[in-house]
Every structure is written in structure tokens, then in C-alpha cells.
Amino acid sequence: MLKKHKNKIIISSLVVIGILLILFGSFSKNESDVEENEFNYELYTNELEEKIERFLLSVSGIDNVNVIVTLDNSSEIVYAQNQSTLDFLTINSGNGQSPVYVTEIYPCVRGIAIACTNGDRDDVRAKITKLISAYLGISSNRIEIVNFG
């Protein structure tokens, strides 16, 4: 009698384990997606800061530099929309309907703080302000420069 039920118990156990793996797999996937989005935001800021630091080190009169960039908000994903109804366009995917991805708009720079050698000299400050303003497309009142040290 136990042999007849043994196969049913094994199959039932495997089904329960499979369902649990699917559930826990979907929860961990959603958590990692959130972490990945946050990491990308931080990564974008860090890469921008490093790129500006490398650039400023090539400017005459600057030997040491630290840069802090503040962004307006996180990135925004743009999806395709029907012009007349403003409904999102969707496609069939393995998980049902998915919106059509168009592009991602990166966040705008809100401000930048720079500490560098000779940051107290007016000529260096003017040069850096002009370069950073042109590079990032922000007004000079969003750029603050101080002497390194």
C-alpha cells in the first residue's frame, strides 16, 4: 500500500518545490531589478564625476581635483504611444502584453561642486566655469569652485 502512495508523494513534493522555486525566483528577480536601477543611477553619477575630474586634470594650473555632481532626478523611460488616443503601444511577449520601449532619458545635472588646486584664483575659476558650463549645458550659477586642501 505504501508503494502505491510513494510515487504520489514524490510527485506532489516535486510540484510543491517547483512552485516555491518559481515564487522565490520571481521575488528575488524583482528585488535585484530595483537594486540594478539604483546602481545604474549611482554608476552614471560616478562615471560623470570621474570623466570631469580627468578632464579638469588636463587644464593648466590644476594638479588635484575632486568633483561632486548632483542630478535632478532619476532617469525616465519613454514608451511608444498612439498619437490619437495617447494609449501605450504594446507587443505580445511571453508574459502577456508589454509596452514598446523607445528610449531612456538620463537625468539632468542640477549642480556641480569642484575642489581643485588654485580654485581660489579668479582666472582658474573662470576657465573651469566656462568649460563645465559648455560641457554640461548648465548655467554658471550651478557650478561652485573652491580651493583644494
Is the domain of 32 the same as that of 92?
A: no
pLDDT one-digit tens code per residue, 93-109: 777 778 888 888 888 89
pLDDT in tens, 104-136: 888 889 999 999 999 999 999 999 999 999 999
* Structural domains in the chain (count): 2
Residues 59 and 19 in one domain: yes
The 10 Å Cβ neighbour count of residue 62 is 20
67 and 35 belong to one structural domain: yes
Quick one: pLDDT band at residue 72, thresholds 50, 70, 90?
confident
Same domain, 58 and 7: yes
Q: What is the mean pLDDT of the chain?
A: 79
Looking at residue 31, which CATH number applies to its domain? 3.30.300.30
pTM for the whole thing?
0.62
Full residue range of the structural domain in which residue 97 is found: 77-105
Q: Residue 64: which of 72, 79, 54 has the closest Cα? A: 54
Clarify whether residues 21 and 52 are in a common domain: yes
pLDDT at residue 36, as a whole number: 42
* Residues 129 and 57 reside in one and the same domain: yes
